[in-house]
Amino acid sequence: MKFSSKIEKCGQSPMRKFAPYADAAAARGLHIYRLNIGQPDIATPKVYFDTLKNFSRPVLSYAPSTGLPEMLDAVVGYYASFGVSLERGDMLITNGGSEALQMLLSCILDDGDEIVIPEPFYPNYATMVNLTGASVHPLTTCPEENYHYADRARVEACLTPRTRAIMITNPGNPTGAVLKPEELKLMLDIAKENDLYIICDEVYREFTYNGEPLLSALQYEGFEENVIVIDSVSKRFSACGARIGMLISRNRALIAHALKWCQARLSSTMADQLASAALYSVGPEYFDAMRKEYRLRRDTLLRKLREIPGVVCAEPKGAFYVMAALPVDDAEKFQHWLLTEFEDRGETLMFACGGPFYATPGRGLNEVRMAYVLEAPQLERAMELLAIAIERYNKR
Amino acid sequence: MKFSSKIEKCGQSPMRKFAPYADAAAARGLHIYRLNIGQPDIATPKVYFDTLKNFSRPVLSYAPSTGLPEMLDAVVGYYASFGVSLERGDMLITNGGSEALQMLLSCILDDGDEIVIPEPFYPNYATMVNLTGASVHPLTTCPEENYHYADRARVEACLTPRTRAIMITNPGNPTGAVLKPEELKLMLDIAKENDLYIICDEVYREFTYNGEPLLSALQYEGFEENVIVIDSVSKRFSACGARIGMLISRNRALIAHALKWCQARLSSTMADQLASAALYSVGPEYFDAMRKEYRLRRDTLLRKLREIPGVVCAEPKGAFYVMAALPVDDAEKFQHWLLTEFEDRGETLMFACGGPFYATPGRGLNEVRMAYVLEAPQLERAMELLAIAIERYNKR
């Protein structure tokens, strides 16, 4: 039986690819420090579960395709709290930020079209772009330059007659790069001048570690037709399993097209929309505590990582990942070895291998992304394991 | 700003298109009998809400991309109860049957490919097919022949070198047609002989009214590579708002490709998977009562509908819809008039207009789909209103 050329082009998620080996290792009794997936360990606010506890109705009906009013209003209120004025009609509630991205890309990309994305980038972007028949045009960045991409000449060099959009993640996954307000403005300017959409994945908005105010592309006036924001409750409230995200844009023609996708899949879940709406009632102290905790983890991970000879990495300014080049021949081989042959006192570790974070063939093969989603002492130990493993791996 | 050619081809959901007019009519104080959406009014089993009440964990994490073990096992157990032996690896849990269909079509259809679907069909099928760049090749059926399509010559006449799959809904939405076991077997034979996928949307499996045993394409041996079943908890347990569905196939290569989509969207919701798994604990008495109730409704609706001069319709054998040709010039104009100009004792009604249920241009324009999801006395009154409205509309 034949499969579509589009799905054939897609690879497995590098974050989940080694799951079978991890399962086998865990079955052998090994403890695994899992730095491969951006699954926070911060407690989910209790109000989520309280809302579910009180959720009952005679018939569990479809929600409106655009989103439940409670959820739409929670998002409107959240953005208003830092000066972004939105209406219900500027957004659609989706099954996670992922679905927002899927529907958006379907609305704007045709076969053969191109989308510019700074690399390294979140690998699922490539899968989603491939499924539309379009392709990623990478804007290559490197740790030596702190993954800097907001440079007019470099961005413009990536534009072709088939370019339809620029997509950025701010704060960045996997790089941790955070745009300065004037850098974000520059990206918006370039998009507008070239009649392009600019897709801003802002799901890590709260995760910055140098006291930056909340930043969104929606704060800038004059880019209403160009700016599309992807957002989600997953990282913000440590509620990945709620699968509630949103597509936000003041481009009403775009929202109208995306609504056709929304209607075709009927609605997002009723219970999770209600419980996610309630999450927006947590106060700033929740985010302050979270930022403090992640900052400690970042500093811990980075300190230990930099002690390992031959490692190259930049300091992440936001999100909760660090991208690093390791002194090994191939990160995938190394990961496979870590799960099948290595152990130290019954422990090993997982990361996401770097290759799929790049669209340029051959790049990132010795790089890894590590999510600092464990407590500091665990991260210390994980980095100790990494140091031991690198040494042992290279001496085989 | 430009949009993709694929989304431009898609229309609004005919079930939801008149929602703004309905909102306005309701705001004027009108009561609307809503037969437009297949939203059952049967009570959702309490075990769904009980499960949510007891759901609590420190961190609401992602579920596995393939589905939560509890949910996978519930589905395995349900199919085993009528003799279909499945393993966890034969399925993926999805955000409703809709997402199962989206991911499946992405896996098998390329630009220019064709999929054969008996028409009239569920209009969201066309949206989902359009978004892959493929097109629907309709196998036209009519009420005078009870929407019969399982005919070798008629099916084969639809096949071209670009045909990749045949898709059927059994029991049928919107027609209520139910395949006899030998008819289903014929469809599978034709698919296999022509190296085609056969997609069987079986979400209405329990909704048959002549004592038929539970039927699934998965019951037939020798079609492991061809058969793909779409299923969902939405209609079965009156739990549309849970958005939990599944893609089932013994074609493991297909499941492996679909998993790439699943990984790209990370997971389906945690709470709704747990609560939906619990739904499978309801006993046969739940379905018996439900069937009895829907049968009464079907009979009521049909009796009243057939009293209206000039109406053409077949008796639906399953699902909970009836497709009918009305003696009006255009169902959309009539629906608009019903919501903006008509009322009888403060009441009016909604249905889904027939045109979008057909891929053949010009067909179905005076047809409507009505969902018998209200209690019998309400359906009686709705049909009274329809009779009055048709008469008044044609006398304008």
Residue B111 has pLDDT above 90, yes or no: yes
**Quick one: B122 and B34 in the same domain?**
no
**Quick one: A180 and A294 in the same domain?**
no
Burial class (CB in 10 A: 0-12, 13-18, 19+), B227: buried
**Quick one: B38 and B178 in the same domain?**
no
The whole-number pLDDT of residue B147 equals: 94
Q: Per-residue confidence at B12, pLDDT binned at 50, 70, 90?
A: confident
Which chain A residues touch B263 with a CB distance below 8 Å?
12-13, 15-16, 124, 127
**Quick one: B138 and B215 in the same domain?**
yes
- My answer on whether omega of the bond before B120 falls inside 30° of 0, hence cis, is yes
Residue B14 has pLDDT above 80, yes or no: no
| For residues B160-176, average pLDDT | 97
Å between B62 CA and nearest CA of chain A = 4
The structural domain count of chain A equals 2
The whole-number pLDDT of residue B11 equals: 83
Tell me which residue of B23, B22, B37 sits closest to B240, measured CA to CA.
B37
**Quick one: A268 and A289 in the same domain?**
no
* Domain limit, last residue, from A279, A302, A323: A279
Residue A13 has pLDDT above 80, yes or no: no
**Quick one: B81 and B184 in the same domain?**
yes
- The tens digit of pLDDT for each residue in B232-277 reads 999 999 999 999 999 999 999 999 999 999 999 999 999 999 999 9
Residue B143 has pLDDT above 90, yes or no: no
**Residue given tokens 């210390």 in the structure block:** A380
Record the tokens describing residue B144, joined without a space. 């005078």
The whole-number pLDDT of residue B125 equals: 96
pTM flag (> 0.80):
yes
Task: Determine whether the interchain pair A272/B267 forms a contact, defined as Cβ–Cβ distance below 8 Å.
Answer: no
- Spatial separation of the C-alpha atoms in residues A138 and A287, rounded to whole Å: 33
As a whole number of angstroms, the longest Cα–Cα distance in chain B is: 65
State the complex-level ipTM: 0.94
Residue B183 has pLDDT above 90, yes or no: yes
The whole-number pLDDT of residue A170 equals: 97
Q: CB distance from A99 to chain B under 8 Å?
A: yes
Q: Can you name the residues that pair with A231 across neighbouring β-strands?
A: A246
- Structural contact between residues B387 and B328, judged by C-beta atoms closer than 8 angstroms: no
User: Which residue type does A252 have?
Assistant: R
Average pLDDT of chain A is 96
**Quick one: B240 and B350 in the same domain?**
no
Angle (CA) A337 A341 A342, round 5°: 85
Q: CB distance from B266 to chain A under 8 Å?
A: yes
Q: Which domain holds residue B27?
A: 5-43+285-394
Tell me which residue of B333, B352, B351, B339 sits closest to B25, measured CA to CA.
B339
- The tens digit of pLDDT for each residue in A319-359 reads 999 999 999 999 999 999 999 999 999 999 999 999 999 99
* Domain limit, last residue, from A279, A296, A322: A279
* Domain limit, last residue, from A247, A279, A311: A279
The whole-number pLDDT of residue A229 equals: 98
Task: Kindly report the CATH number assigned to the domain that includes residue A352.
Answer: 3.90.1150.10
**Quick one: A214 and A227 in the same domain?**
yes
Q: Per-residue confidence at A40, pLDDT binned at 50, 70, 90?
A: confident
The whole-number pLDDT of residue A371 equals: 96
Q: Per-residue confidence at B96, pLDDT binned at 50, 70, 90?
A: very high
- My answer on whether omega of the bond before B174 falls inside 30° of 0, hence cis, is yes
Å between B119 CA and nearest CA of chain A = 18
Record the tokens describing residue B66, joined without a space. 């393939």
- The tens digit of pLDDT for each residue in B341-384 reads 999 999 999 999 999 999 999 999 999 999 999 999 999 999 99
**Quick one: B211 and B166 in the same domain?**
yes
Å between A43 CA and nearest CA of chain B = 5
Query: Smallest Cβ distance to A4: which of B6, B11, B109?
Result: B109
**Quick one: B220 and B95 in the same domain?**
yes
Classified as helix, coil or strand, B294 is helix
Q: CB distance from B98 to chain A under 8 Å?
A: yes
Average pLDDT of chain B is 96
Cα separation values, B386 from B41, B139, B308, B350, B393, Å: 21, 30, 8, 10, 10
* Chain A residues 135-164 with CB within 8 Å of chain B: 164
**Quick one: A137 and A170 in the same domain?**
yes
Task: Kindly report the CATH number assigned to the domain that includes residue B164.
Answer: 3.40.640.10
Å between B11 CA and nearest CA of chain A = 7
**Quick one: A274 and A299 in the same domain?**
no
Share of chain A above pLDDT 70, in %: 100
| For residues B290-317, average pLDDT | 96
Q: CB distance from B16 to chain A under 8 Å?
A: yes
